[in-house]
Chains A and B, each alone.
Chain A
Amino acid sequence: QQQVKQSPQSLIVQKGGISIINCAYENTAFDYFPWYQQFPGKGPALLIAIRPDVSEKKEGRFTISFNKSAKQFSLHIMDSQPGDSATYFCAATPRHTGFQKLVFGTGTRLLVSP
């Protein structure tokens, strides 16, 4: 019940295309859903996050879509650029428990071809 399932494992998108990464969870206590971006040789960094009181959050080219009834959320990267090539992790937690209870997905390696 603590797992967050992430797909696909890897993704290749052409420059200018849309990258879509999906995550699903079981624990209904989860109420905070961040996405992390990790470049090679670097630590993960918070990219964008959403709470379940909204169905969508957009920051620049990055959008999180959230489906509470299906217990699914996804990251969309519009107009994907080679600089977006990185590993993306979804995560979830009951917000009141803080960062220490964050459960991470297994990651998606995105490659944006020029």
Chain B
Amino acid sequence: DAGVIQSPRHEVTEMGQEVTLRCKPISGHNSLFWYRQTMMRGLELLIYFNNNVPIDDSGMPEDRFSAKMPNASFSTLKIQPSEPRDSAVYFCASSLAGTMNTEAFFGQGTRLTVV
């Protein structure tokens, strides 16, 4: 398996523009997580899905952020409009669900720079 695949790897955009980050989880996994990593705040969970349904989005910082999972093999994280403080590395992770499951596999991340 190729692991969790994220695209793009790098994104540079101007303030005010819409940004869409994409994630393909590991085949067969039914939980998906979006994280944001910054030097100041470390790794923060933004939202997670179970069986394509958003379960907890309490980590989404503002209404400018939205996430969807239209099917088991694809998810998007959208920021509209983007702001310089959104600059970070965004990770997607997936796992095989079960409340006792404590491991997920991370993608390589998307480095977002908003100028």
Q: Which A residues are within 8 Å of any B CB, using their own CB? A: 32, 34, 41-46, 49, 89, 93, 95-100, 102, 104-107
A selection of 29 A-B contacts at a CB cut-off of 8 Å is A32-B102, A34-B102, A41-B109, A42-B106, A42-B108, A43-B4, A43-B109, A45-B105, A45-B106, A46-B103, A89-B43, A95-B100, A96-B99, A96-B100, A97-B99, A98-B97, A98-B101, A99-B31, A99-B33, A99-B102, A99-B104, A100-B33, A100-B55, A102-B45, A102-B102, A104-B42, A105-B42, A106-B42, A107-B42
Q: How far is the CB of B55 from chain A (nearest CB, A)?
A: 7
Whether A49 contacts B102 by the Cβ 8 Å rule is yes
Q: Which residues of the other chain, A, contact B31 by a CB distance below 8 angstroms?
A: 99-100
How many A-B residue pairs lie within 8 Å, measured between CB atoms? 59
Q: Are B106 and A98 in contact (CB under 8 A)?
A: no
Tell whether B93 is near chain A: CB-to-CB under 8 Å.
Answer: yes
How far is the CB of B43 from the nearest CB of chain A, in Å? 4
Which A residues lie within 8 Å of B104 (CB)? 99
List the B residue with the shortest CB-CB distance to A91. Answer: B43
- CB B95 to nearest CB in A, in angstroms, measures 5
Separation of A113 and B106 alpha carbons in the complex (Å): 27
A44 touches B100 (CB 8 A): no
CB–CB B102/A93 < 8 A? yes
Q: Within the complex, which residue of B55, B98, B99, B106 is in contact with A44, where a contact is CB–CB below 8 Å?
A: B106
A residues in contact with B56, CB < 8 Å? 100
Q: Return A51 CB to nearest CB of chain B, in Å.
A: 10
Residues of B within 8 A of A104 (CB): 42-43
A102–B99 Cα distance when bound, in Å, is: 12
| Interface-centre pick from A34, A41, A99 (highest chain B CB count, 10 A) | A99
Cβ-defined contact, B106 with A100, below 8 A = no
Which residue of A is nearest B56, CB measured?
A100
**Set of chain B residues within 8 Å of A105, measured between Cβ atoms:** 42
